Structure 1
Amino acid sequence: MSLPSTHTAPLHECFISLGSNIDPDHYFVQALEIISRECVLLAHSEAIRTAPVGYQQQPDFLNAALLVSTPLEREAFRAYLKGVEDRLGRVRGAIKSGPRTMDLDIVAWDGEVIDDGYFQHNYVRKPVDEVLASSGRNLESQKRS
């Protein structure tokens, strides 16, 4: 799925959480190249290495965050990210928290946190907070009950 080339639609800002534990150095570069080419990359964090959460019989993850702008609406952009995962060889197996080439999740949309993983997991929050600091952005981060 390619993004529209004209920017007549309003642009949305999106924080994306990236995670990989199958050849993560390779897939991080690939994901960054695709997203940089197809979206407007505004900022990104350094990658951090983290222990797996949930299913433990797997390698550590590399995690990072990106800030991009897109003319797509949120659900269309979510579908776009799933398509990028597929292009990078993502296999969705029986173990939801199992190994993956790339996991791309929307953490915040237009300044509002929409993924409670931001509040629950340092591997999400730390990279997003790094991007917030470097980009001068703020989030409405009231924990949802």
Structure 2
Amino acid sequence: MTRAFLGLGSNLGDRMGYLKDAVAAMDDCVAVSGIYETDPVGGPDQGRYLNVVAELDTSRSARDLLELCQMLEAAAERVRDVRWGPRTLDVDVLWVDGETVDEPDLVVPHPRMFERAFVMVPLGELAPDLAEGWSDPANGDCRRLGDWDELVPPASEGIS
């Protein structure tokens, strides 16, 4: 099994619901960072994002993880009209221990992760070794809303 990290973000519709559904669909997810609200980076004028990082203990390769990311985005009915535009769900492969990929449709480690507070701050909660020495060059606004388990109760809670 290999340690891997996925970055998830949403700024359209039921943002928390899209994140919750995506995390629930990952059977190899072992931890989720706190939930952060952040300003969009690049693209057109749009609303703020909710962001988390998920840690997986997985037998999937980086390529298999990309397929998982695309499946999760499709389940959230993500539309790709505008580059860096608003989206129901964005899922990126950030890191896979021991694996480096440099292909047109997949680069691991993620090529811009060290430039983005909305990735590095939650990643640092789960993997301090990967965030060691990182400082935010853009001083991005990354406001922690709370722990995943506090803000996203299990599906069975509240059902009678």
Task: Report the TM-score, using the length of structure 1 for normalisation.
Answer: 0.77
CA distance in 2, matches of 1:46, 1:111: 25
**Which amino acid in 2 is paired with 1:108?**
W
Question: Structure 2 vs 1, CA of residues 104 and 63 (structure 1 numbering), >3 Å: closer, same or farther?
Answer: same
Q: Check if 1:75 corresponds to 2:66.
A: no
User: Which residue does the alignment assign to 2:121?
Assistant: 126
Deviations 1:93-114 (A, max 9, x none): 1x11101111111111016660
Which consecutive unaligned segments of at least 5 residues does structure 1 have? Answer: 1-10
Q: Judging by fraction of residues, say which structure has more helix.
A: 1
Deviations 1:3-48 (A, max 9, x none): xxxxxxxx2221111110012111111112112xxx2222110110
Question: Structure 2 vs 1, CA of residues 85 and 109 (structure 1 numbering), >3 Å: closer, same or farther?
Answer: same
Matches within 5 A, 1:47-62: 47-62=35-50
Residue 83 of structure 2, aligned match among 70, 83, 96: 96
How many matched pairs?
Answer: 125
User: Which residue does the alignment assign to 2:29?
Assistant: 41
**Which amino acid in 1 is paired with 2:89?**
M
Q: Is contact 1:12-1:71 (8 Å) kept?
A: yes
CA distance in 1, matches of 2:132, 2:71: 28
Residue 97 of structure 2, aligned match among 103, 106, 110: 110
Provide the alpha-carbon RMSD of the alignment: 2.3
Question: Structure 2 vs 1, CA of residues 140 and 60 (structure 1 numbering), >3 Å: closer, same or farther?
Answer: closer
Q: Is contact 2:33-2:53 (8 Å) kept?
A: yes
User: Which residue does the alignment assign to 1:7?
Assistant: none
CA distance in 2, matches of 1:111, 1:65: 19
Q: Check if 1:65 corresponds to 2:60.
A: no
User: Which residue does the alignment assign to 2:141?
Assistant: none
User: Which residue does the alignment assign to 1:6?
Assistant: none
CA distance in 2, matches of 1:77, 1:141: 24
CA distance in 2, matches of 1:111, 1:67: 15
Question: Structure 2 vs 1, CA of residues 141 and 74 (structure 1 numbering), >3 Å: closer, same or farther?
Answer: farther
User: Which residue does the alignment assign to 1:31?
Assistant: 22
Identity within the alignment, %: 30
